Amino acid sequence: ETQPPTRARVDAASNCQARAAMPPKAKADAKAAAAEKSAEKAALAALGITPALKKMMLLDALACVTCGGTTLGPAVCCCKQSNKPPAGFDATDALLAAAKARVALEKEAARLVNAAQQSNVANQRLKAKEERVAAESDFSVIHQQGTGDDLLIVAEFPQGAKLGFSVEKNAVTQVTVGTDAAAQGVKRGWVIEEINGEPVEASKAAVLRAATVAMKPASLQP
């Protein structure tokens, strides 16, 4: 019943005896190996070689001692005649520089992706803002395109009223039911030619800018 604890004590004691019985040469070899490993870590740290960089360097190889090009780049040998490193050549500096350059390129690529994502978000927010402005702006002249002669229709909106329609370029794309635009008969497909008596470009941004200015009391015509 009480044998397992006893065996555990015997095993522990046996392990201690086994370690104590290690031959002096084996102990010296183990100590030397530990010291060598510690010295290697210190040397790598002094060169700025992290474990990650070390792995990258082990996968790479120096292709030319003249230009420092490596098999993984980013610098590729463009010499007319590649000068391969001789046996025993220390390529640490070249491999470290190449590994750091690849890390820098990866970081730059990640930065560009992040910047593109942020730009996309900013554009979406701007588009949403422009659509809100288009729905709330106040301007007065709308031109309806026809199959033959064009028909000029004037739609006047009171200051501060919500137009109630959306535009793409300078064309009405959607009219909201129950708004001033719907009440005045504004239809999808109408083309905005003028705002407050001024011609407007066939550009959504230009329409929105002109509509925003037209909403200001100082810019409204009597």
Q: 126-158 pLDDT, tens per residue?
A: 888 777 765 554 445 444 544 445 667 777 766
Position 120 confidence tier, pLDDT thresholds 50, 70, 90: very high
pTM of the full structure = 0.41
Residues 6+ apart with CB under 8 A from 183: none
| Statement: residue 117 has pLDDT above 90 | yes
Q: Range with the lowest mean pLDDT among 31-35, 66-70, 186-190, 193-197? A: 31-35
Which pLDDT value is given to residue 222?
41
pLDDT (0 to 100) of residue 129: 79
Res 86 pLDDT > 60: yes
- The whole-number pLDDT of residue 218 equals 47
Q: What is the mean pLDDT of residues 171-200?
A: 84
Q: What is the spatial distance between Cα 98 and Cα 95, in angstroms, rounded to a whole number?
A: 5
Q: Which two tokens stand for residue 114?
A: 């992040």
Instruction: Name the least confident of 95-104, 182-191, 212-221.
Output: 212-221
Among left, alpha and beta (phi > 0; psi -120 to 50; other), residue 165 is beta
| pLDDT tens figures, 14-28 | 555 555 566 777 777
d(CA 195, CA 216): 13
Both tokens assigned to 47:
């060169």
* 219 secondary structure, DSSP code: G
Rounded Cα gap, residues 118 and 48, in angstroms: 33
Per-residue pLDDT band for 113 (boundaries 50, 70, 90) equals very high
The confidence score (pLDDT) of residue 114 equals 93
